[in-house]
Amino acid sequence: MEIAAVLVLAIAIVIVVVVVVVGVKAVKVIVVLVVVAVKVVVVVVVLLLLLVVVVVVVVVVVVVVVVVVEVVRSSSSSSSSSSSSSSKSISSTSSSSSSSSSSSS
């Protein structure tokens, strides 16, 4: 009877030791998985920040290009309009000079 009790006690101790060892290993695995998950989250956050920076840079470049194109177009249009007006003024002066010379003759 005593031998059976000792055997049961020994088996119970072995089971407890195995459960504790397996539990410690499981905890170590869980800690490693948590560390890996945190690293993955950090990498994803960094990549998202880089994506935001790239989008902001692209938007700024597009806005600058549009503004430069509009300024050049406006300047070109203004220059063309000024040239046209100057040409009309010369033409008008020449026509008035010609009519004045014709009436004086």
Residue-wise pLDDT for 40-54, tens only, equals 999 999 999 999 999
6-47 residue pLDDT tens: 899 999 999 999 999 999 999 999 999 999 999 999 999 999
Q: What's the whole-number average pLDDT of the chain?
A: 83
Query: Within a domain: residue 55?
Result: yes
In a domain, 3, yes or no: no
pLDDT (0 to 100) of residue 57: 98
For the chain, the straight-line distance linking the first and the last C-alpha, in angstroms and rounded, comes to: 154
> pTM of the full predicted structure?
0.50
Instruction: Name the DSSP letter for residue 105.
Output: -
Residue 8, in any domain of the structure: no
pLDDT at 76: 79
Number of structural domains the chain divides into: 1
pLDDT of 78 above 90: no
For the chain, helix (H) and strand (E) counts, in that order, are: 1, 0
Q: Model confidence at 105, in pLDDT bands (50, 70, 90)?
A: very low
Residue 96 lies in a domain: no
| Encoded amino acid at 59, one letter | V
Domain coverage including residue 31:
16-70
Decide if 83 is inside a domain: no
